[in-house]
Structure 1
Amino acid sequence: MKFLIVGLGNIGAEYDATRHNIGFDVADAFVIKHGGSFKVERLAAVAEVKWKGKIFVVIKPTTYMNLSGKALKYWMDKEKIGIENTLVIVDEMALPIETLRLRGAGSHAGHNGLRNIQEVLGTNAYPRLRFGIGNDFPRGKQVEFVLGRWTPDELPYVKDKILKSIDVIESFATIGIERTMNNFNK
């Protein structure tokens, strides 16, 4: 069984450790836990790790957030991984900082990375793990908030949720999306 794990974010040091790059951070943590490492290949930094008889192709697109679908589709096709075995990890302003939400489908909700994936795939029916970043910003400061770094108060939640995200990925691959949603979407 092969799975494609897609952590969304933007390349470049100025985006490291920002709210918008949480998909990259989760991908990094998952790969490190399983003893892998990334190398830059076509359209993405890519790592392959094995766990419990399963192969995980983990990508961090180098296309920038707004063209994430191009990298996702390329690696789905190259590795011959079905959409049902693909999991996108994305930041989500509509969820509070303490929340993770796994879904099998849904709207892009204005998120440019998800919008592009939906356009490229021609469907909104693909698994995604939405990592709540909250929306505690002044009116008109959304971009600064999303591209900003975590506050000291937020970091404990973030670290805990990164570890939970690894559990979600492993559960998704072993017991499927429905049971994983029941276990983690509380």
Structure 2
Amino acid sequence: MGVSSLLDKLFPSGNGGGSEGPPWIVVGLGNPGAEYKNTRHNVGWWCIDELIKRTNVELNRKRKEVRYAEVELGGTQVILAYPRTFMNKSGLALSYLTNRFKTTPENILVVTDDINLKPGSVRIRKKGGPGGHNGLKSIITALGTNEFPRVRIGVGNPDSSDEQVSHVLGTFDPDTRDLVRSAATRAADAITMIVNGEIDNAMNQYNAQADKKPNKKKNDDGASKPN
């Protein structure tokens, strides 16, 4: 039996909460390469790392645009994934995965950094625009809709909008890093709730804790490979 046939047997239906349908897709956004591993822009990967650790798997299925693994979270079938492209091409990973697993946007969960949230905060939305985030922008274009849930992890805003690229591609000081790693762990808890049909409960629990910073102009964050 080929790999594709085996996967079809493993995932004939099964969308979450134990009902039949395609699996959930949970994708953490970030840039590939060791030099980006600890940057603010890669906190979405930190959350996927936490889920990988909990489920004792590796992202051992590889395509040129994505690495992924099949797991269960609370009894729900889930695809955990990292894009293998730079941030502004993140939609390529979702194009492949949605075609492969026939998952619809409402069962796609994107985990991303957010410069407009206080470091260490977690906020969940059922849908929305990109908010200046090039990874989300690419995914919205690829899916043809912005109606998919996302979990945003706060990384803080630079003092000047001119510094946004260097900010998101920079690293945290030790104290802030610990705050954000803790947030990635809480985000993993929230994801388990969401894929098991508890998105409203997750929003009530985690959004109440998120202390959003005062409004600032949102510019594109230069989320691709540095030009």
1:81 maps to which residue? 103
SS of equivalent residue, structure 2 residue 180: helix
Which whole-Å CA distance do the structure 2 matches of 1:12 and 1:56 have between them?
25
**Which entry has the higher C-alpha Rg, 1 or 2?**
2
Per-residue deviation at 1:160?
A: 1.3
| Length, aligned pairs only | 186
Contact 1:30 1:166 in 2 (8 A): yes
Q: Distance in 2 between matches of 1:19 and 1:40?
A: 26
- Would you say 1:97 and 2:109 are equivalent positions? no
- In the other structure, the counterpart of 1:7 is 28
Q: State the identity %.
A: 37
Equivalents in 2 of 1:35, 1:69: separation in Å? 27
Write 1 or 2 for the structure with the bigger share of strand.
1
RMSD of aligned residue pairs (Cα, Å)? 1.4
Could you say which residue in structure 2 is the equivalent of 1:58? 80
Matched residue, 2:189: 167
How high is the TM-score relative to the length of structure 2? 0.78
Structure-1-length-normalised TM-score: 0.94
What 5-or-longer segments of structure 2 have no aligned partner? 1-14, 16-22, 209-227
The one-letter amino acid of 1:95's match is L
Question: Of the candidates 115, 122, 135, which is equivalent to residue 157 of structure 2?
Answer: 135
2:135 partner amino acid = G
Q: Which residue of 1 aligns with 2:47?
A: 26
Q: CA deviation at 1:134?
A: 0.5
Match of 2:207 in 1: 185
User: Residue 57 of structure 2 aligns to which amino acid in structure 1?
Assistant: G
Structure 1 runs, 4 residues or longer, greater than 6 Å off: none
Deviation at 1:110, TM superposition (A): 1.0
Cα distance in 1 for residues equivalent to 2:99 and 2:72: 20
Question: How far off is 1:73 after superposition?
Answer: 2.0
- Aligned partner letter, 2:62: E
Q: Does 1:109 align with 2:127?
A: no
Contiguous gaps of at least 5 residues in structure 1 = none
